[in-house]
Structures are given as C-alpha cells and as structure tokens.
C-alpha cells in the first residue's frame, strides 16, 4: 500500500515537473516577444 502511494506521488511529481518546464518555455517565449515589440517601438520612434 505504501509502495503504491509512493508510486502515485512520483507520477504526480513528474507531471508537475513537466508542466513547470512547459510553463517556463511559454514564459520565455512571451518575454522574447515583448522584447522584440519593444525593439520595434524604439526603431519606429
């Protein structure tokens, strides 16, 4: 029983880790887009 709950816990952790990695990628791409927009604005002014 304890072994089974530990297995479930590890599965849950791996899922959370995967989501965290995806969120980080999304965050970084959003930052890049924002930076590019700022650069374009600076060039236009």
d(CA 20, CA 32): 18
- Predicted pLDDT at 35: 87
The pair of structure tokens assigned to 21 is 């990695």
Backbone angles phi, psi at 4, to 5 degrees: -65, -45
- Predicted pLDDT at 1: 58
- Predicted pLDDT at 21: 86
Render each residue's pLDDT in the chain as its tens digit; 45 residues: 577 787 778 878 788 888 888 889 999 899 898 888 787 777 776
- Predicted pLDDT at 8: 78
Predicted TM-score of the model (pTM): 0.52
CA nearest 13: which of 5, 2, 25, 3? 5
- Predicted pLDDT at 34: 86
d(CA 35, CA 27): 12
45 DSSP assignment: -
């Amino acid at each position: 029983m304890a072994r089974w709950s530990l297995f479930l816990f590890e599965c849950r952790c791996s899922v959370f880790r995967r989501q965290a990695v995806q969120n980080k990628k999304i965050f970084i791409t959003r930052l890049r887009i924002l930076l590019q927009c700022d650069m374009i604005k600076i060039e236009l002014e």
